[in-house]
Amino acid sequence: MVRSVAKHSFSKPIILLLAFVALLGISLTRDFRSASSSAYVSLATTWARDKYRIVSANVSSNDSPKIQDVGGSNRDRYPERALAMTYADLPAPELEWEQMPSAPVPRLDGYSVQIKDCLFVFAGYANLDHVHSHVDVYNFSTNTWTESFAIPKDMANSHLGVATDGRYIYIVTGQYGPQCRGPTANVFVLDTETRKWESLPPLPAPRYAPATQLWKGRLHVMGGSKENRHTPGIDHWSLAVANGKALEKQWHKEVPIPRGGPHRACVVVDDRLYVIGGQEGDFMAKPGSPIFKCSRRFEVVYGDVYMLDESMKWKGLPSMPKPDSHIECSWVIVNNSIVVVGGTTEKHPVTKRMILVGEVFQFNLNTLTWSVIGKMPYRAKTTLAGFWDGWLYFTSGQRDRGPDNPQPRKVVGDTWRTKLKLLH
Ligand SMILES: *[C@@H]1O[C@H](CO)[C@@H](O)[C@H](O)[C@H]1NC(C)=O
Ligand SMILES: *[C@@H]1O[C@H](CO)[C@@H](O)[C@H](O)[C@H]1NC(C)=O
Ligand SMILES: *[C@@H]1O[C@H](CO)[C@@H](O)[C@H](O)[C@H]1NC(C)=O
């Protein structure tokens, strides 16, 4: 499904085609501006389906479009044929999803950590103008939202880094407040047994949504966006921690990550640290805006996978089946596989619309291979995933506009589960 145009193969028709695409881009500018001012919660517009069809998975459900891959005869009529098709839905098996109790509030860019049968869900946006300042707790044994409690006043509300050792939850840096406000370098730790918060030494510099994980007794923080929210950072710092306490006064420099940027999954399995997907660039505050209004900037979403082992040298592993970002808490580890639920992929190459991901992916760490193992009930980004008693759960995030429109729309608190079936 994934195609790209090699530079050397540009022929005259393709150059004409690109000229057409450029003209189209100009005609869309006005529309695009209105979209950027209302940012990702409400991208305006009509999806030009007739001209630029979304090639969706060859699915069997009745309410889904049955659009097959665009055939050879359509080659000249459909410019996307010649462009990277990374945004398209991939063929994926249907899964039977069961809807569970919704979270107390809708959440975009929320964060979560599973400890035993509980999912702790932190902060996030209710919408671009309102952020949450509390934790909601879901119990997988009772399938109920059992509790809510406050986060510290000076903790970030989105773009956090989170990690746990099974009792303490470490929360580093992130964006403080709504819209595209500035970041804080503050670091906190929650004792989930006492519900008490403590402070830890602040990061050397604030970051937006850095890859964060506990690894070999140290809290590692990598990449993210720098202070302007857009420039990818590649710095990597670590702090020795134990039982919710810092064992050092300062963060140490570590080997920088090969590719920077925010919104990646960061997972430790068997003493190896994996950093999966992500993007370079993000929305930024509009210069001079008193409310730090978000405005869209150039972004590149990628599916790169990097791994650190005891050699402390980054290794590249096979990329995801498509570029995927906004997946910080959209993963679970089951039977030596990492399962990733949803996300957001490269923008549509012609319309520049944001495109959400509706697939469930499996990265088998025995074989280092990726598979598409299922289709979600809808496409969604910043899902918060959990696994309990054979069930794969996800809650919250921002969902699509419908089966035939993968653009982001509603911020939701909906919770779903399905019996997880892995491929060997
Ligand atoms: C797609 O649908 C066609 C027609 O229904 C069918 O022949 C084909 O096997 C399907 N392909 C996949 C990958 O499911
Ligand atoms: C979740 O609920 C079950 C059943 O009431 C209870 O045994 C368990 O301790 C709860 N989990 C946590 C972490 O509180
Ligand atoms: C994981 O492995 C166990 C033991 O082999 C098996 O019983 C279980 O079904 C597997 N889980 C999944 C989701 O495949």
> What would the DSSP string read from start to end of 305-355?
EEEE-TT---EEEPPPSS--BS-TT-EEEETTEEEEEEEEEPPPTTT---E
Nearest protein CA to atom 5 of ligand 3, as residue:
335
Q: 13 φ, ψ to 5°? A: -60, -35
Q: Which residues line ligand 3 (CB under 6 A)?
A: 334-335, 420, 422
> Distance between CA 403 and CA 407 in Å, rounded?
10
Nearest protein CA to atom 4 of ligand 3, as residue:
335
350 alpha carbon – ligand 3 mean position (Å)? 43
Nearest protein CA to atom 5 of ligand 2, as residue:
142
> Distance between CA 37 and CA 411 in Å, rounded?
17
54 alpha carbon – ligand 2 mean position (Å)? 44
Q: 9 φ, ψ to 5°? A: -95, 10
Q: Which residues line ligand 1 (CB under 6 A)?
A: 58, 91
Q: Which of the listed residues 58, 60, 372 should we mutate to test ligand 1's pocket, taking the one with most ligand atoms within 8 A of CB?
A: 58
Q: Which of 43, 74, 76, 70 is nearest to 283 (CA)?
A: 43
* 341-357: b (≥16 Cβ within 10 Å) or e: bbbbbbbbbbbbbbbbb
> Distance between CA 117 and CA 46 in Å, rounded?
42
Ligand 1 atom closest to Cα of residue 91:
13
Using DSSP, state whether 411 is helix, strand or coil. strand
> Distance between CA 145 and CA 165 in Å, rounded?
22
Q: Which of 279, 295, 297 is nearest to 287 (CA)?
A: 295
Query: For residue 71, which amino acid is it?
Result: G
User: How much is the pTM?
Assistant: 0.81
Per-residue pLDDT in tens (0 to 9) along the chain, 424 residues: 334 433 344 444 555 555 555 544 444 443 333 333 333 332 323 333 333 333 333 333 333 333 333 333 333 444 444 455 768 899 999 999 999 999 999 999 999 999 999 999 999 999 999 999 999 999 999 999 999 999 999 999 999 999 999 999 999 999 999 999 999 999 999 999 999 999 999 999 999 999 999 999 999 999 999 999 999 999 999 999 999 999 999 999 999 999 999 999 999 999 999 999 999 999 999 999 999 999 999 999 999 999 999 999 999 999 999 999 999 999 999 999 999 999 999 999 889 999 999 999 999 999 999 999 999 999 999 999 999 999 999 999 999 999 999 999 999 999 999 999 999 7
133 alpha carbon – ligand 3 mean position (Å)? 37
Could you tell me if residue 234 is left (phi over 0), alpha (psi between -120 and 50 degrees) or otherwise beta? Answer: alpha
